[in-house]
């Protein structure tokens, strides 16, 4: 895996490519504590990532408009990052060529962005996790989920497209410090090149490999990506639920009613951390994955395929679950898990 060489524990400060006047003008106090770390992927590119919040992990795929120290206090990303960090451990990163990651990179490609995400996942020691992709980050999230279906437990996409021509415009957000964030996020030349790559991507043939439950959120009057693209994408994923939001903004603003709806839908969709008194709180991360898949109605062979485990290993895990949960058989285990909120979104699709 390209990310195996990334050093998880290296703290970093912002590289000295930011002009002091601009940095002073653009920096807004971060409304939450975050830990910054960096390392180098197998191809030598330096990738920076941040960890904030507490609770179950949520990984956010990278965007071209990002800077780990600036976006958390910006009007573009600040409200989203603060809300998600309030009840999740949020892991996010700057893609190569952006923010605190290396700007001097050999090329621009979706493969490189997926490799950046692979590196961060390896650095944090993550096995299976929910993944969030917003706008161009949705391309990265979809491509990663197609390549690593056993690692992504849930997929949340906002303003997504997945084929050439899906995005009809690329309008940078206006106001709320967006201009300053755009200036520190990356160079103008690299930003233009990233847009070219994003608009040329076609993931049509990879979508059938995305087997996890997916929540699609999309503004009804999105000026950049028509809602028809979300409908097209939902029809081609195994298990996708589309929520259209009453908004004309590609990226939602915190003063919109649609933003409250967005948070509600995301929190309903993502698994919660078991209460301390719950028998599920005693389960390991792997056992929780298996419980969720059991509650979705998957048999041992399907669970083994999703988690890349042997069937015998899955069978042993299931037997241990009966003992830990005090259930005597599969039916009672599934019923107990569903009562606790596991596995509610899965609907078997083609080839599952």
Pairwise CA distance, residues 219 & 190, whole Å = 28
Q: Is residue 209 part of a domain?
A: yes
For the chain, what is the domain count?
Answer: 2
The predicted structure's pLDDT at residue 10 = 39
For the chain, list the strands marked E by DSSP.
10-11, 34-40, 46-53, 57-60, 89-94, 129-134, 152-158, 214-219, 240-245
Question: Is the confidence at residue 277, as pLDDT, over 90?
Answer: no
Q: Exposure string (b/e) for 274-290, b if CB count within 10 Å is 16 or more? A: beeeeebeebeeebbbb
Q: Is residue 274 part of a domain?
A: no
Pairwise CA distance, residues 105 & 300, whole Å = 44
Identify the domain boundary among 239, 269, 299.
269
Pairwise CA distance, residues 307 & 318, whole Å = 14
- CATH number of the domain bearing residue 306: 1.10.10.10
Q: Is residue 106 part of a domain?
A: yes
User: DSSP 3-state helix, strand, coil percentages of the chain (rounded to 5)?
Assistant: 40, 15, 45
Are 108 and 225 members of one domain? yes
State the pTM of this model. 0.80
pLDDT tens digits along 64-122? 999 999 888 888 899 999 999 988 999 999 999 999 999 988 889 999 999 999 999 99
pLDDT tens digits along 141-175? 999 999 999 999 999 999 999 999 999 998 877 66
Both structure tokens of 93:
């990163």
Q: Is residue 350 part of a domain?
A: no
By the 8 A CB rule, do 301 and 311 touch?
Answer: yes
Are 155 and 297 members of one domain? no
Are 124 and 200 members of one domain? yes
């Amino acid at each position: 895996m390209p990310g195996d060489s990334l050093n998880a524990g290296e703290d970093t400060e912002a590289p000295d490519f930011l002009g002091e006047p601009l940095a002073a003008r653009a920096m807004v106090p971060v409304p939450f504590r975050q830990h910054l770390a960096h390392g180098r992927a197998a191809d030598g590119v330096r990738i920076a990532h941040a960890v904030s919040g507490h609770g179950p992990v949520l990984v956010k795929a990278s965007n071209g408009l990002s800077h780990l120290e600036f976006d958390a206090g910006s009007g573009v990303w600040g409200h989203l990052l603060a809300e998600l960090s309030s009840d999740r451990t949020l892991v996010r990163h700057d893609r190569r060529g952006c923010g605190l990651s290396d700007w001097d990179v050999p090329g621009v490609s979706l493969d490189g962005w997926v490799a950046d995400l692979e590196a961060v996942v390896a650095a944090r020691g993550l096995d299976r996790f929910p993944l969030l992709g917003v706008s161009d980050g949705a391309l990265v999230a979809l491509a990663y989920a197609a390549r690593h279906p056993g690692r992504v437990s849930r997929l949340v996409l906002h303003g997504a497209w997945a084929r050439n021509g899906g995005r009809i415009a690329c309008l940078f957000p206006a106001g709320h410090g967006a201009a300053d964030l755009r200036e520190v996020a990356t160079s103008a030349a690299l930003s233009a090149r990233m847009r070219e790559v994003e608009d040329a991507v076609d993931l049509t043939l990879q979508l059938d490999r995305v087997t996890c439950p997916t929540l699609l959120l999309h503004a009804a009057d999105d000026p950049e990506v028509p809602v028809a693209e979300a409908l097209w994408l939902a029809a081609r994923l195994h298990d996708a639920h589309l929520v259209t939001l009453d908004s004309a903004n590609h990226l939602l603003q915190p003063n919109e009613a649609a933003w409250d709806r967005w948070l509600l839908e995301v929190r309903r969709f993502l698994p919660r951390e078991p209460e301390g008194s719950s028998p599920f709180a005693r389960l390991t991360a792997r056992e929780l994955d298996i419980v969720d898949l059991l509650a979705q109605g998957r048999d041992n062979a399907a669970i083994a395929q999703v988690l890349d485990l042997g069937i015998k290993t899955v069978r042993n895990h299931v037997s241990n679950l009966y003992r830990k949960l005090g259930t005597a058989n599969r039916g009672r285990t599934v019923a107990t898990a569903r009562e606790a909120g596991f596995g509610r979104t899965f609907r078997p699709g083609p080839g599952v």
